[in-house]
Amino acid sequence: MYTLHKKTARFFSVIIMALTAGLLLVSEVFALTPQEETRVDNLLIAVGKQEQLLFIRNGSEHNATEAESHLRLKLGKTKKRLKTAEQFVDNVASKSSITGTAYQVKLPGQPPVDAQVYLTQLLSETDKAAKAQ
């Protein structure tokens, strides 16, 4: 009976190790690659440089520096679950994770636009600038 208990314990420890290894592999599959992380970083730097930008989240207006800081905080909490810069824009940077409300961006003389639209365009611009270097 003692031998059966040892075999059962060994079996479950092997199962637990296999599941743990599988979770580690899965988390690596979804982590941002260095190239994608650079794309996101370039995007966030560009956001922070938009002196006239107002970033509207949950009804409050924030300047570009505050927007960059907030998005970096969100990136830090989610980058292991993301594969691409586009996923960051679509799933993290464009809406509140608490309320689900879309963020907006307002530039002088223009009506507010959804942050997803603005950030997608800005990502395209930063990608082009990076390729030109």
For 3-23, how does the pLDDT look when each residue is reduced to its tens digit (9 = 90+)? Answer: 656 666 666 565 665 555 544
For 41-71, how does the pLDDT look when each residue is reduced to its tens digit (9 = 90+)? Answer: 999 999 999 999 999 999 999 999 999 999 9
104 bridge partner residues:
56, 114
Give me the amino acid identity at 121: Q
57 bridge partner residues:
60
pLDDT value of position 27: 41
**pTM, entire model:** 0.77
The domains of the chain are located at 1-29, 31-132
Instruction: Give which of 64, 61, 24 is closest to 43, Cα–Cα.
Output: 64
For the chain, give percent helix, strand, coil, nearest 5: 65, 10, 25
